[in-house]
Amino acid sequence: MSTPPRLAFEGSKTPEAQDSLKTLRSRYGECSVPDCDVIVALGGDGFMLQTLHRHRTYAKPVYGMKAGTLGFLMNQHRPDDLVERIMRAQPAVLRPLEMIAQSESGNTVEAVAFNEVSLLRQTKQAAKIRVSLNGEVRLEELVCDGVLVSTPAGSTAYNLSAHGPILPLDSSVLAMTPISPFRPRRWRGAILRAHTEVRFEILDHYKRPVSATADSSEVRDIVEVVIRESTTRTVTLLFDPEQHLEERILNEQFAH
C-alpha cells in the first residue's frame, strides 16, 4: 500500500476486544466496511472466521489483531503503529470450500467454509458414510464418528486435532480426515487435489443420523453432502511479514 488505508474496525464481545475497539476508533477514526480499504478484526480465530463470513461479499482484506484465546489467524495486538504495520503487511489469499448439503426433509443448504466442512454422528451410534471422489466411489462404507475436509489454512485447526496432516498454504490440496474411524481399520484419510469434488452419502441415515458443519454453519439430519473448493470466491488476510501465515503453518509442523 502506498497511501494510508481507510480502516473499518470489528471487535468480538470480550472486554479486551471492546476496550481496544474504542481506543483504535478514537485514534485512527473509522469508515464503513463498504467504503474501507482494510477491515481490522479484534478477537480470536473464531471471531476472524465470523468476520470473513459476515463481510465476504465486499472482498475487503482483513488484518486481525489478537484479543482472544486463540490467535493463529491474528497478528499481535499492538495499536501504536497500526497503520504502518498494515502498509507493510503481506497478503495470504484463501480459497474457501463450498458445501451443498441435503437433509432428510428434502431441503438443500449451501454454505462456505474457510477452515473445514465436518460431518459428525448425532447419536451414540457410529455413522456409516459412503465416500466418492469425482463421481467414483472410493470407500463403500466408512464407519466412524465423523469425517472432515479441510483447507490448507484450516489444516492446523480441527483437522490437526483429528490427527490430519498439516498442509502448506500454497499446496493446492485438501485434507480428508476421519474422526475416530472404526472401519476400515487402517484408513487414516487422504490428501486430495484442490479441484476434487467430494461426495459423502449417509447410509442408514434414519437410524444413524449425521450433521454437517461448514465452519460454524450446521445442518442436521443430512442424507448427502457435496464439497468442492470454490473457483470464484477468495478472501485476503494480511499478516506482519515476520509472522506470515505460511510461516506459521510451517512452524506448526515442527512444534513439540
Q: Cα angle at 55 between 13 and 200, to 5 degrees?
A: 100
Scanning the structure block, which residue is given the C-alpha cell 463421481?
135
The CA-CA-CA angle for residues 72, 229, 185, to 5°, reads: 80
Catalytic residue status for 170: no
Q: Which residue has the cell 466411489?
A: 137
Question: Which residues, at least 6 apart from 26, have a Cβ–Cβ distance to it below 8 Å?
Answer: none
**Amino acid (one-letter) located at 221:** D
- Among candidate residues 45, 80, 81, 215, the one labeled active-site is 45
- Facing residues of 174 across strands? 192
What amino acid positions are annotated as catalytic residues?
45
